[in-house]
Amino acid sequence: MRKNKILISLAFLLGFSLIAIMPSCDLEDPDNKAVLENLGWFGVGGDNGDNLSTIQDDITFAGSGNLPPSVNLTNFNGKNLMPPIGNQGQYGTCVAWATGYAHKGFLERTDGNTVDFSPKYLFWKVPAADKGADCNGTGFESAFNVMQQFGIATESTVPYTDLGDCSSSTSSSWDANAAGYKIQSFREIGKDKTTLKEYLAQGRAISFGAKLGDEFMDASGSGVLNYQSYGYTGQHAYHAMILMGYDDSKNAFRVQNSWGTTWGDNGYIWVDQDYFIKDDFCFCAFVADNIRSNPSGDDNIVDDVTTGNDLLAWELDDVQDTRPGYESDPLKRMAIYNVFNSGTSTIQASSDWNILYVYYDAYDANNYGILLYDYYTDDYGTTGTPDPNDSYPNNDAMTSGPGIGNWWNYINVPSGQSVAMALYDGDADSRFNWWFTMPQITGNYYLVIIADGYNVITEEDEDNNYFFMTDANGDPFYFNNGIRQGAAKKSLNKSVMVPKTFDKSPAATARTSNHLNAYTPKEIQKFIEIEKNNGNINRKVQQFLKNGGNKGQKSKY
């Protein structure tokens, strides 16, 4: 909540004495209300509020459409996935309660580990620049960032007592305990009714930020909140809570609060679904994924099979097209890339696999496009080695199929060879280069080459199918009307042309210590599969070509 003075109801809200409250300014309190510095969330925008444009949106996966009439995460498939109601007291720590105590507690219970977590640890661990003085407020992003980087200590390790002014540092023993309880990622989601209910129906809790009025603050009993008035003098509170159910018979969402069991409906409240999504109530919503503290297996996308197949995205560069007539147009580009068969089995053309060159928004992967589509198939042409007269019976521009205007290759890729080596008669120094036109995108984007983009080949390791291209600092590129700003990180492995068997991609992910919340290869893989199956990728390819996109040629580099 923002640092303006806020009026609240002591009787129903927090249950602490007037002595504990900081003196108000000169605001009147005609209804026996008191003034509190804040409830704990800075809101959206402004100097301290959450900047939603730089928080990754969840990748959209359409639900089944068959939503149950009600969901309650306190009894989800016979399990109580929510921690018990807590009480933040007079402190502005609601974000730590919503994200750390409630949401992380939910994630652990979902993974079969009943643990309660410490809002005190989380709030103390948030950098001073990201929170208000005297325990007064922070943002969702700051709290989630702490749980990604450091984790969160358990309530038994760091009880919610003796908070002081929250300026103290966490101890090394607390940090050691917290390190075992991290989250993998957090994502912003849409706040329309269907989206919220789809996540809840999947058994996923949702942290959200809202603006509170008189009726919410004074809530008591099991009625449904469907409006709010703002009769208090002063600005009303911005507050963080967790959404953990809905009931269509009430047309209401079920919210868990952090004001103890004497407030509302034993600590919960029903909020009308249509009112909930209004801009003057719910401002933002988030889901999160866990790093399990007691995993039964790994959380990466290694298939752990022994087929001997393993495609490796090894190199990628994107440079100015220097051909005569193109060198002065910054949208004319040349992609240089290579993909190896680092497994022990030959990758057959009959598998109909592909290599994709993709751009996607660093904060909204749903905003993506296909730059190049390189198809390995026996559907076109014949096998064979190109002759000296530049006749290519085994590869050419596509005139039909899923990537018209892109490229097909009728080649098998033997173990230890790259796709370029297989095409160009075993030349170990060869790579592909492909001329294309960059679309006029604006914003922060990653560039990525993906081997087996549609995931048709079962491999030893799916993680190494990606080569992410970033700027020199490891950040996403900023594009202005298609023109890339800044230099790229070194991306051609000229010193090691041929990788070892089952080697790792040198740039298999966009995630770095500075970008812990970047989309993972697992997310991108799942997204590409779904987009392929629903036809969106083919439509994007066709639209790109219709708009005058890739009409270049692929050749040896």
Backbone angles phi, psi at 164, to 5 degrees: 60, -135
At residue 391, the pLDDT reads 56
Q: Which whole-number Å values give the CA distances from 300 to 184, 349, 458, in the listed order?
A: 11, 27, 15
Burial tier of 168 (Cβ tally within 10 Å: 0-12, 13-18, 19+): exposed
pLDDT per position as a tens digit, 384-398:
655 445 555 788 887
Q: How many CB atoms lie within 10 A of CB 53?
A: 12
Measured CA to CA, the distance from residue 408 to residue 520 in angstroms comes to 28
Q: Give the CA count within 13 Å in the CB-facing half-sphere of 474.
A: 12
Q: How many CB atoms lie within 10 A of CB 348?
A: 16
Backbone angles phi, psi at 166, to 5 degrees: 65, 20
Measured CA to CA, the distance from residue 200 to residue 296 in angstroms comes to 24
Comparing CA positions, the residue from 237, 319, 274 lying closest to residue 3 is: 237
Measured CA to CA, the distance from residue 51 to residue 448 in angstroms comes to 26
Q: Please count the residues of the chain.
A: 557
Which amino acid is located at 131 in the chain?
K
Task: Answer whether 337's CB lies under 8 Å from 316's CB.
Answer: yes
Measured CA to CA, the distance from residue 403 to residue 537 in angstroms comes to 9
Residue 65's contacts (CB-CB under 8 Å, 6 or more residues apart) are: none
Task: Answer whether 137's CB lies under 8 Å from 504's CB.
Answer: no
pLDDT per position as a tens digit, 226-285:
999 987 544 458 999 999 999 999 999 999 999 999 999 999 999 999 999 998 899 999
Measured CA to CA, the distance from residue 445 to residue 90 in angstroms comes to 43
Which amino acid is located at 60 in the chain?
T
At residue 306, the pLDDT reads 53
H-run or E-run covering 419: helix 419-423
Q: How many CB atoms lie within 10 A of CB 212?
A: 22
- Coil vs helix vs strand at 285: strand
Backbone angles phi, psi at 380, to 5 degrees: -130, 150
Q: Which whole-number Å values give the CA distances from 134 to 147, 166, 174, 241, 488, in the listed order?
A: 22, 6, 21, 21, 44
Q: All domains of the chain, ordered by start, with CATH?
A: 6-290 (3.90.70.10), 311-556 (no CATH)
Residue stretches of the chain with pLDDT short of 70: 1-38, 62-64, 232-236, 294-307, 384-392, 400-405, 495, 545-552
- Tokens 């280069």, located at residue: 433
